[in-house]
Structure 1
């Protein structure tokens, strides 16, 4: 599958207005588009960060949907968003252990790698990182997004609740360190979010 991520920062006190608009107007717009497979909304209410992810059956479906969303996105994110970054990725791994639920947690790792190592990254993630993450208590789903041309990626690990997210930090760090060394990637940032919505239909 293919994904589009929308990453916005702004005033934490106004984040719920953006969530409501995305959860209502945004989902209605997405549901009408061919190739739509689901979406997710994740927030950091303390710092004022919002991550919206939409999933598509093909690169063409994702691209066509953005023609509509580009016109409406700004209005839906007002008055919260001061900055917005839109990125596109290929979802090369989607591994679901159990269904994530609202109120759970997401840990997001951003990666950089030599584009020539994209295949190595995917292979390493399937062979050792995903199995390692599956041992973490409360893990619901993990996925790997890559942008092969730019040599950038994202790893998402979703947990059933905030306590499991917090308790996993040490063990997850060990899995992440080992995987990064094997795949020759650099981890450029770590972030944690609350799950507001996630309804991806299949891998």
Structure 2
């Protein structure tokens, strides 16, 4: 599958307005598009950050959907969003243990690497991160989203509740250190969000 990630920042007091728009009109717009496989919305209510992710069957269907969504995105995110960035990825790994839940937690690492090492990054995530993370209490899903051409990736873990995410921090820090060294990747960002919703059709 292929993924579009929209990252917006703004006034925390206005964040819920954008969440409601994405959860209603935004989801309706996505459902109408060919190749749509699901979406997720994740919020940091304290700092005023919003991450909206949509999943697509093919790269072409993702591109065609963006022709529609980019015209409506500004209105959906008003008046919250002061900054908006859009990035596209290949879903290299999606390993689900149990369904995510509203109110759960998402942690992801932003990584940069030599594009020639893209396959090494994917192989390392599958061989090291997935099996080490799977036994963590409350883990719902691990994902690796990768941009091969630019040498960028998002490595994420979804938890069914915020307490499980917090309890995993020390263990995951060790795994992150080992995996990034093996993959020759630099971790350039680390973020945590509340799960507003997260739905991907895996069949």
TM-score, length-scaled by structure 1: 0.99
Does the CA contact (< 8 Å) of 1:111 and 1:186 recur in 2?
yes
**Is residue 120 from structure 1 mapped to residue 116 from structure 2 by the alignment?**
no
Does the CA contact (< 8 Å) of 1:136 and 1:172 recur in 2?
no
Deviation of 1:115 after TM superposition, in Å, equals 0.2
Cross-structure match for 1:61: 61
Q: Distance in 2 between matches of 1:58 and 1:142?
A: 21
Cross-structure match for 1:106: 106
Cross-structure match for 1:80: 80
Cross-structure match for 2:14: 14
SS of the counterpart of 2:202? coil
Q: Distance in 1 between matches of 2:169 and 2:177?
A: 12
Q: Distance in 2 between matches of 1:123 and 1:168?
A: 23
**Is residue 180 from structure 1 mapped to residue 180 from structure 2 by the alignment?**
yes
Cross-structure match for 1:150: 150
SS of the counterpart of 1:199? strand
SS of the counterpart of 2:137? coil
What does residue range 124-139 of structure 1 map to in structure 2 within 5 Å? 124-139=124-139
Deviation of 1:170 after TM superposition, in Å, equals 0.3
**Is residue 140 from structure 1 mapped to residue 140 from structure 2 by the alignment?**
yes
Cross-structure match for 2:159: 159
Cross-structure match for 2:29: 29
SS of the counterpart of 2:200? coil
What residue ranges of structure 1 are gaps of 5+ in the alignment? none
TM-score, length-scaled by structure 2: 0.99
Does the CA contact (< 8 Å) of 1:3 and 1:91 recur in 2?
yes
Deviation of 1:137 after TM superposition, in Å, equals 1.2
Q: Distance in 2 between matches of 1:56 and 1:7?
A: 18
SS of the counterpart of 1:42? strand
Q: Distance in 1 between matches of 2:147 and 2:180?
A: 17
Deviation of 1:135 after TM superposition, in Å, equals 2.0
4+ residue runs over 2 A deviation = none
What residue ranges of structure 2 are gaps of 5+ in the alignment? none
Deviation of 1:136 after TM superposition, in Å, equals 1.4
Q: Distance in 1 between matches of 2:24 and 2:86?
A: 20
